[in-house]
C-alpha cells in the first residue's frame, strides 16, 4: 500500500485525492492519498511527521513549493530549474524532489489538445513560480521563441536570462506586448484568481491558442481570448491531471490513462 498525501494551506479545495484515487483504481495500485493542512510556518515539521509514519511520497501545493525544495535532499533537473518542488519521493533517507507542473502542461498541450509547440511563438503572461516551473519543459519542445511578459518587467527579463541556455527567450513588461499575433498564449499570472485580466494589446490573441493555467471556470483571460478571436481556448484542468499523473508515475512507475480522468473530473466540476 502506497502512503501518499498532498500538503497545502489552504488544502480543502484540492482535487488531488480524487484524481489519485482514480489513477490507483485504474492501474490496480493500492494507495492511500490524503490531504494535509500544514501550518504556514510549519511545513517541514508536518512533512517529517508524515515521513516518520511511513510515507512513500507526497505532493506539495501553494504556499510550500519552495519549502519543499529546501526539504528535498536531491533534485531532478525540472526541480532545479523551477527552484520549486511539487512532488517528493521518499527513498530511505533520501527525499527526491521533482517538479511535474511543466511536464503536466506540455503533456496536456501536446497529447490531449494536439498542439505542436515545435517552431511556434509562445507568449507567457506572468513571471512567478508557475512560469519558472513550465519554462524548461516548454523549451524542450523547441518552440521558435518564448516571450515572457510580466507586470513587473524586471522579473520577466531575469527569467528570460536564466533560461536562455535552454532556448530562445526574451522578457519585458506587459505594456510592451505588440498587436502582432503569436501562436500560443499561456496565462500564468494569478490575476484570474481575483477575477482580473491585465490590460494588454488585443491583436496578439488573433488566431492564437490561449491556455489559462487556472481551472474550473470561464476565467477573465478565457473571456478576453474569446472576444479577441483566439482560435482555441483552454483552462488548466488538463494540466492539473497531467502533473498528478507524472507524480503518480514517479512514485509507482505506473502510467495512468489521463484522458478518462480529465473527463471524470470535468464532469464533477461542471
Ligand atoms: P505567483 O504568485 O508566483 O506569481 C503571480 C504572477 O501573476 C506574477 O507574475 C504577478 O506579477 C502576476 N500577477 C498577479 N496579479 C496580476 C494582475 N492583476 N495583473 C497582472 N499580473 C498579475 O503565482 P504562481 O506563478 O504560482 O501561479 C500563477 C497561476 O498559475 C495561479 O493562477 C495558479 O493557480 C496557476 N497554476 C496552475 C497549475 C495547474 O496545475 N493548472 C499549477 C501551478 C499554478 P508581478 O510579478 O508583477 O507581481
Residue 65 is among the residues annotated as catalytic for this protein: yes
**What's residue 194's pLDDT?**
86
Q: Which residue CA neighbors atom 27 of ligand 1 most closely?
A: 130
CA of 187 to the centre of ligand 1 (A): 8
**What's residue 199's pLDDT?**
94
* pTM of the entire predicted model: 0.95
pLDDT in tens, 47-97: 999 999 999 999 999 999 999 999 999 999 999 999 999 999 999 999 999
State which residues of the chain have pLDDT below 70. none
Given the residues 3, 18, 35, 65, the one annotated as active site: 65
The residue among 42, 103, 70, 83 whose CA lies nearest residue 238 is 103
**What's residue 139's pLDDT?**
98
**What's residue 57's pLDDT?**
98
Residues 6+ apart with CB under 8 A from 52: none
**What's residue 268's pLDDT?**
83
CA of 52 to the centre of ligand 1 (A): 33
Set out the domains of the chain in order of their start, with CATH numbers: 2-99 (3.40.50.10860), 102-237 (3.40.50.720)
**What's residue 269's pLDDT?**
74
Amino acid at each position: 500500500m502506497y502512503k501518499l498525501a498532498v500538503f497545502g494551506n489552504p488544502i480543502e479545495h484540492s482535487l488531488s485525492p480524487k484524481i489519485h484515487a482514480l489513477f490507483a483504481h485504474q492501474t490496480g495500485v493500492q494507495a492511500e492519498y490524503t490531504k494535509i493542512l500544514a501550518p504556514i510556518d510549519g511545513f517541514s515539521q508536518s512533512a517529517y511527521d508524515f515521513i516518520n509514519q511511513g510515507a512513500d511520497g507526497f505532493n506539495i501545493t501553494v504556499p510550500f513549493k519552495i519549502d519543499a525544495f529546501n526539504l528535498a535532499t536531491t533534485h531532478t533537473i525540472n526541480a532545479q530549474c523551477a527552484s520549486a518542488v511539487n512532488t517528493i519521493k521518499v527513498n530511505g533517507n533520501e527525499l527526491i524532489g521533482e517538479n511535474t507542473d511543466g511536464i503536466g502542461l506540455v503533456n496536456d498541450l501536446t497529447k490531449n489538445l494536439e498542439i505542436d509547440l515545435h517552431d511556434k511563438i509562445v507568449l507567457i503572461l506572468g513571471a512567478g513560480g508557475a512560469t519558472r516551473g513550465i519554462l524548461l519543459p516548454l523549451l524542450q519542445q523547441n518552440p521558435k521563441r518564448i516571450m515572457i511578459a510580466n507586470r513587473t518587467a524586471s522579473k520577466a527579463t531575469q527569467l528570460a536570462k536564466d533560461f536562455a541556455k535552454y532556448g530562445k527567450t526574451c522578457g519585458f513588461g506587459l505594456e510592451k506586448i505588440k498587436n502582432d499575433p503569436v501562436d500560443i498564449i499561456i496565462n500564468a499570472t494569478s490575476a484570474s484568481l481575483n477575477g482580473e485580466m491585465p490590460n494588454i494589446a488585443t491583436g496578439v490573441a488573433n488566431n492564437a491558442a490561449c491556455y489559462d493555467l487556472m481551472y474550473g471556470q470561464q476565467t477573465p483571460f478565457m473571456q478576453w481570448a474569446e472576444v479577441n478571436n483566439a482560435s482555441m481556448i483552454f483552462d488548466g484542468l488538463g494540466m492539473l491531471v497531467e502533473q498528478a499523473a507524472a507524480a503518480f508515475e514517479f512514485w509507482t512507475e505506473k502510467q495512468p490513462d489521463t484522458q478518462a480522468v480529465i473527463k471524470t473530473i470535468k464532469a464533477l466540476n461542471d
